[in-house]
């Protein structure tokens, strides 16, 4: 049986992890490779690396990091942040990334999704969508949720699927950082109306939130950062809890 995935997300700047990470057993708290290896060993199903650098050498630094991660870890990982061309994706996949995630570049140039899916296959193209609930309507936002677009979440998600995305990573800006749970209603609607996997992001605070996102939110995977980085939730414990609730997980 296909299991629900638990995905820690690592924010990367200039090849280093950024968010304060509270791992006592880490020799170098800023080393993404070491952190990735710890997550892989603790039962994470997949990892996401989100690059937030803004330097000239960004592409090269990220490509080098991907190579180092692929050398060390034996679970799949996705790379996102600033990817805007077929060439960007080519080098990341060649270096060992399993999937890439695109966000703003897909909104600005929707045909990019078609070009990437045609060249590399839908299975490695994740489209990330950040959206905010405004006056009862889910509006897609760019630049980490700062800039509103005119796109409706559900319409955009359907277009993304039609253009060849293999998966959607949906972050609710209303829930992100609140630790009050995921946007289960919107997630369930996405999962029902679309026929590609949906990764839920934004709002994880406790184990119950993960149970809810898989049952009520019908999500295929759940992504979180701080609850894992600060060891508020151990992935092993989380998976035991999910299993006890009858949710299929890899243990």
Structure-block tokens of residue 80: 């996102």
Name which of 92 and 173 has its Cβ closer to other proteins. Answer: 92
Binding mask 127-156 for other proteins (x = CB under 8 A): ------------------------------
Residues 6+ apart with CB under 8 A from 96: 66, 67, 69, 70, 71
Whole-number Å distance between alpha carbons of 51 and 221? 21
Q: Which stretch binds other proteins (CB under 8 A): 25-33, 65-73, 108-116, 148-156?
A: 65-73
Residue whose token pair is 């299929």: 248
Among 22, 55, 64, 123, indicate the residue that binds other proteins (CB under 8 A).
123
Residues 6+ apart with CB under 8 A from 244: none
Strands 147-152, 99-102: pairing is: unpaired
Name which of 148 and 197 has its Cβ closer to other proteins. Answer: 197
Among 53, 95, 101, 201, indicate the residue that binds other proteins (CB under 8 A).
95
Rounded to the nearest angstrom, the gap between the alpha carbon of residue 108 and the centroid of all alpha carbons in its chain is 20
User: Does 176 qualify as catalytic in the annotation?
Assistant: no
168 sits near other proteins (criterion: CB under 8 A)? no
Catalytic residue among 45, 51, 88, 130: 130
Per the CB < 8 A criterion, the answer to whether 169 and 121 are in contact is: no
User: Does 237 qualify as catalytic in the annotation?
Assistant: no
71 sits near other proteins (criterion: CB under 8 A)? yes
Q: Which stretch binds other proteins (CB under 8 A): 49-57, 87-95, 133-141, 145-153?
A: 87-95
DSSP per residue over 147-186, as a string? Answer: EEEEEEHHHHHHHHHHTT-SEEEEEETTTTTT-S---HHH
Residue whose token pair is 């701080």: 226
Q: Which stretch binds other proteins (CB under 8 A): 119-127, 145-153, 204-212, 231-239?
A: 119-127
Name which of 95 and 174 has its Cβ closer to other proteins. Answer: 95
- Which parts of this chain interact with other proteins (CB under 8 A)? 1-5, 40, 45-46, 67, 70-72, 74-76, 93-98, 118-124, 166-167, 195-197, 220-221, 250
Residues marked as catalytic? 11, 130
């Amino acid at each position: 049986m296909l299991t629900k995935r638990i995905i820690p997300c690592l924010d990367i700047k200039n090849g280093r992890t950024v968010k304060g990470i509270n791992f006592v057993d880490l020799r170098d708290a800023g080393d993404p490779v070491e952190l990735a290896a710890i997550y892989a060993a603790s039962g994470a199903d997949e990892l996401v690396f989100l690059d937030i650098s803004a330097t000239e050498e960004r592409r090269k630094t990220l490509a080098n990091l991907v190579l180092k991660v692929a050398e060390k870890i034996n679970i799949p990982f996705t790379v996102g942040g600033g990817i805007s061309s077929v060439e960007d994706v080519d080098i990341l996949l060649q270096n060992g990334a399993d999937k890439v995630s695109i966000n703003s570049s897909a909104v600005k140039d929707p045909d990019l999704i078609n070009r990437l899916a045609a060249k590399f296959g839908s299975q490695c193209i994740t489209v990330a969508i950040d959206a905010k609930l405004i006056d009862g309507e889910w509006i897609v936002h760019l630049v980490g949720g700062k800039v509103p677009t005119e796109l409706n979440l559900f319409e955009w998600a359907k277009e993304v699927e039609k253009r060849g995305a293999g998966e959607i990573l949906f972050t609710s800006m209303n829930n992100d950082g609140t630790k009050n749970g995921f946007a289960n209603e919107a997630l369930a609607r996405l999962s029902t109306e679309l026929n590609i996997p949906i990764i839920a992001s934004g709002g994880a605070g406790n184990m119950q939130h993960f149970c809810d996102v898989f049952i009520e939110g019908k999500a295929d995977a759940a992504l979180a950062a701080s609850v894992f980085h600060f060891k508020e939730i151990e992935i092993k414990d989380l998976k035991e809890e999910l299993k006890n609730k009858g949710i299929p997980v890899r243990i």
